A and B are shown apart, each in its own frame.
Chain A
């Protein structure tokens, strides 16, 4: 039989003591009368002498406030008994004085603090309690169990729901419009975006690299195309040229035109370009399929079509699926560069910042040039800086020599 050590009463008024320190280690053999612990009451620090012989198993730790008479440790007769004490559930767990106090301060319906999960990390609840929690969307970890063994019973879930109902009702009465909180539920498109973006950053090893490109020539080339818009039948945009350049680049770098499921990289021969479109309802990413077969004008028409329908929320089901690579052009905003998030299961996304006239070194002279950042977020699980460097080098070559784009 193990021998129980309890918090002594040192002085008539003492109701609890705080353990300052254990003077011997857990598992040490102690003899009756040995000083083994120091505790404090309201007045003093007092030495505690062992009240028995045996191997010490400490159940109340330093800093614990223990009621007079409540257990602080056990003395085992032999090693086998000591081992058993160590693995046994703490039947003689310390009775910290705070616990009952907290309970008495708690409202009639205690909502959180001490939960069934607290003891073991596992929520104990009855079948019925679980059913109600499932139906009402209650997280049982937040419910205090008052059934046998602190099991959560049905009434606990109902009490919790009742208490939750009262919380928002009480708040406005207390706070007078210092802060008006409007709850916006994440629904529909927003919810889907939230889920997708979060999943993307959870699952991949994303890394962004950027290069500043001189787009003076590109803008001039585009102007030339605009001048010939009647002949072409459309007004080519900078975005069209950036997209076309991306298609060219991807044909040289097939591992970027790919999808990845964590085990297998699926490299696609078709370039199905996901085009990020900022719509009021949220980001839309319609897909333009088989861009590798398109001329610049065809690409322009296809991209204009999906962009308009995306803004008007008229995309058909499936038109946002099946992309192999995404481009995101933020050049219409005062944004130089960003770190875009990859659209899973793709492995990279290419962004374009605004074109800004700034001093640039051409040859050995400083000239006014139109400069633009091109930035690539890539999944580092799939490829490394070497490939990224080559991709950005090719993008730079294409954008600085725009005639290559349409070759």
Chain B
């Protein structure tokens, strides 16, 4: 069945809430308004104000309440609207949510999902366009999921809600209206398993979030030039599916990492470092990173487009991987 990414997320939430009445949703404008993108539309009517609650505009309070609910037996799905607002609750999200399970022993569960909308969305500017995954990759204990298709979004959100570990679930704003095939009925996708979105043999492109689509576009262009690109979508950044990536590198020996966030100390920095440590003898050249320019995101759409990698930039990085000295 064809549906949008947004519908797939909404369906996952509804189906899980029907299955388990310990699951509740709260965040800014999630009740009557049904979330600014429409993800939770109709849920207040179906599940009532006890389980679908609007909060004040205080991210600290949202996450503080959510983690309290999680450790005392409920299964909250908190929503932070824009991923940028995780910064307002940074202490809770960086210290308490990921670390408390380690700090307090095995009986202390943290079945908390924090949903947020991330990435650029045509002129949202430097405080509403961020991708924050790399910040939380630095805090051990946080599971980080960033689905890129309706199928992945639904299956992974269900797994996230059923997990007893804290999860940061990053939804890309530009993907909400994209469509894809989603099977009827209940299914889950395991956390920590990457997906090869396109098989290829010359260069491995590890693409995150919106960059998966752009990498696929680039692969399409490069195929005409005789370069075969394998596009891997990690889907889960933490825990990271090394095996799928390593198997791909054993085949291609070339790696490009494409991400939407800033290059310095980003996802690509971590992955490239890890890959060269563990796969040095399989690499036939340096790993390259394609990422946003290291500047605050301009609100001007033309400039924004220039800052974020597009298919052409990814393609250029791939070509450079297989280029020969002339």
Contacts and interface: CB of A to CB of B under 8 A. Distances in A.
A131 B284 CA distance: 10
Contacts of B187: none
Contacts of B285: 126, 147-148, 151, 153
Contacts of B253: 128, 154
Contacts of B225: none
B325 A128 contact: no
Contacts of A155: 284
B23 to A, nearest CB: 48
B283 to A, nearest CB: 5
Contacts, number: 40
A150 B325 CA distance: 6
A218 to B, nearest CB: 66
B248 to A, nearest CB: 14
Nearest to A156: B324
Given A145-B325, A150-B325, A131 B281 contact: yes
B281 A147 contact: no
Interface string B306-326: 000000000000001001110
A148 B325 contact: yes
Contacts of A147: 284-285, 323-325
A131 B281 CA distance: 6
Contact of B283 (A128, A145, A149, A150): A128
Contacts of A126: 283-285
B282 interface: yes
Interface in B270-299: 279-285
A129 interface: yes
B324 A128 contact: no
Contacts of B320: 148
Contacts of B283: 126-128
Contact of B284 (A127, A149, A150): A127
29 contacts: A126-B283, A126-B284, A127-B279, A127-B280, A127-B282, A128-B253, A128-B281, A128-B282, A128-B283, A128-B284, A131-B281, A131-B282, A146-B324, A146-B325, A147-B285, A147-B323, A148-B285, A148-B323, A148-B325, A149-B325, A150-B325, A151-B285, A151-B325, A153-B284, A153-B285, A153-B324, A154-B253, A154-B284, A155-B284
Interface of B: 253, 279-285, 320, 323-325
